[in-house]
Copies of this chain bind each other. A is one copy, B any other.
Amino acid sequence: MKTDNLLLVLFAVYPVVRALWPMPRSLQTGTTLVKLSPSFSIEVDVAHPPQDLLDAVSRTNQHLKGDMLQRLIVGRASSDTAALVHAPSLTKLSLTLAPAEVTSVKSIMAEATKDIASRREGYSLTLPASGGAASIVANSTLGLFRGLTTFEQLWYADSAGDPYTYQAPVIIADDSPAYPYRGFMLDTARNFFSVSDIKRTLDAMSMVKMSQFHWHVVDSQSFPLSIPDFPELSQNGAYSSSEVYSSSDVQDIVTYAGTRGIDVLMEIDTPGHTAIISTSHPEHVACAQATPWENFANEPPAGQLRLASAATTNFTTSLITSIAKTLPSTLFSTGGDELNVNCYTQDAQTQAELDESGKTLEEALNTFTQSSHDALKALGKTPVVWEEMALDHNVTLSNSTVIMVWISSQDAAAVAAKNLRIVHSPSDYFYLDCGAGEWIGNDPAANSWCDPFKSWQKAYTFDPLANLTEAQTSLVLGGQQLLWAEQSGPENLDSIAWPRAAASAEVFWTGATLPDGTPLNGTTALPRLHDVRFRMVQRGINAIALQPQWCALRDGQCNM
């Protein structure tokens, strides 16, 4: 029997590859136990390796020893004690770049922050059943990093705390993501999150190979971002002087993310969701804190930038430029959601400016938006907007513009029909805040607007290509789960997000089918997601239990 056939047989007998999330797009595994040798080392076969690759290797070495995760089976580690006595040992993991790449080695961060269409995350990995040397080969340091992430997931602690794998041989011929944008959005304006909260979130994202942190940094309620040329905005708009991201905090976060394979897409939401700017610049904000708020905004407080004002347009463009130029990402979002027309209808200044210019509100919105988009393009960046800019307004958007589809998953087709690129962010699948009750003070219904709760199972059924034509599929960059923070803060960040948000990480990496050709399936995914959750807990991320531990240790016994 040839090796390939043997592996196929083994795969058929042992279909649940417990460890891996997201599932690689190509995978063959066995059932041999291999110990990690006490002398195990990771060899970086890259000339002049970038420091962030060396740091990633150090972290992998720490995780291999520090995860201390025992297998999720009855008996836990003790079940393998006897079998481990004669198991072979792995002494080495080598990291190698493909020959064509060795002359222009870039850092993980440089690769991760490249234009979304040109990132290279693929890798191959082999771990022989005989032990000895494992290898990861990739076309980029980012690919090597993704391979390290896969490698870490293969290891469990034995009864003495020493690492071993039970799935050797492991052969991943060529794993690379189905979609480049695999994101998580955090709103840090409704309630504040510390730099360490964000770093912990980046750690969790990195564990499941997410590639994009969408930072909804400011909103109507607070302006926690210190912008060098506009210090007054956070001085007057942050909840307190300790609830501010300084310039060095931003660089710290961007670097922490980049070196973990994550690009930071910052959003300054405009022209709506900007009430707090009125505390520094009342001249730029229409209907600031106007009441009743529900006549002027989707949530309190009301306030929108005066889009018909040349001064406000210049202010907004300067503001966006000032922060965008400090960020390595080629993506930057100008927001554009939930524009309230009544706010402008009731604003005498805006009406006067429209009269003077002879423009309609939509024309003024177009001028306003073009101004900031042109500035972003001048910085070499691609504008990102919420779907209303593409579907509800008459704004000229260049074809490179990225549209976040959030109101309904059904709206992706309309965006595709306009030949614009899509990041799936649907409230009906991916909103992590839904179903936690109403937060408006006196709503008698007391349910959230996007009830019910979006379970991981629901997110996992998302089809990125639903209702799109074959020709439109290339418009889909990926998708993300989102945490709006009206009812969240550091206290429940981990528990509301993890492991739930890992669902989309697999949907957008693995694509529609598992390596054996079967469609993604929540029932067979569950044991692997238990592993993700337990490993996150071991790393200090408060990911919640998906089931009683009794079920987590007994695949399939808690199915109907």
Contacts and interface: CB of A to CB of B under 8 A. Distances in A.
A252 interface: no
Given A300-B551, A446-B455, A549-B221, A542 B491 contact: yes
A61 interface: no
Nearest to A443: B560
Contact of A441 (B299, B537, B547): B547
B550 A222 contact: yes
Interface in A180-223: 189-192, 220-222
A491 B543 contact: yes
A269 interface: no
Given A436-B453, A491-B494, A544-B491, A221 B550 contact: yes
A247 interface: no
A191 B486 CA distance: 29
A439 B455 CA distance: 9
B301 A441 contact: no
A545 B437 contact: no
Interface string A487-503: 11111101110000000
Q: Main SS of chain A's interface residues?
A: loop
A435 B457 contact: no
Contact of A456 (B437, B451, B494): B437
Given A558-B300, A558-B440, A549 B222 contact: yes
A461 to B, nearest CB: 9
Given A458-B446, A549-B222, A557 B453 contact: no
Contact of A487 (B190, B191, B452, B547): B547
B491 A495 contact: yes
A463 interface: no
One complex includes copies of this chain to the number of: 2
Nearest to A455: B437
Contacts of A551: 221, 300, 439, 441
A523 B443 CA distance: 9
Contacts of A548: 189-191, 221-222, 439, 485-486
A217 to B, nearest CB: 14
A5 interface: no
Contacts of A221: 548-551
A442 interface: yes
Q: How large is the interface on A (under 10, 10 to 19, 20 to 34, 35 or more residues)?
A: 35 or more
B556 A441 contact: yes
Given A300-B557, A301-B550, A557-B301, A545 B491 contact: yes
Most buried by B among A436, A456, A550: A550
A441 B555 CA distance: 9
Nearest to A294: B560
A39 interface: no
Nearest to A526: B441
Given A221-B549, A489-B545, A544-B492, A447 B452 contact: yes
A498 to B, nearest CB: 9
A442 B559 contact: yes
Nearest to A522: B442
A240 B550 contact: no
Contacts of A542: 490-492
Nearest to A533: B491
A76 interface: yes
Nearest to A536: B491
A515 to B, nearest CB: 21
A230 interface: no
A487 to B, nearest CB: 6
Nearest to A493: B495
Given A76-B240, A294-B560, A560-B294, A439 B546 contact: yes
Nearest to A500: B437
A442 B457 CA distance: 9
7 contacts: A190-B550, A220-B550, A299-B558, A435-B452, A436-B453, A441-B523, A488-B544
5 tightest A-B CB contacts, nearest first: A437-B455, A221-B550, A492-B495, A491-B542, A190-B548
Given A441-B547, A447-B452, 12 more contacts: A191-B549, A435-B435, A435-B436, A439-B547, A440-B558, A441-B556, A442-B559, A443-B457, A446-B455, A485-B548, A492-B492, A495-B496
Interface of A: 76, 189-192, 220-222, 239-240, 276, 291-294, 299-301, 435-443, 446-447, 451-453, 455-458, 485-492, 494-496, 522-523, 526, 537, 542-551, 556-560
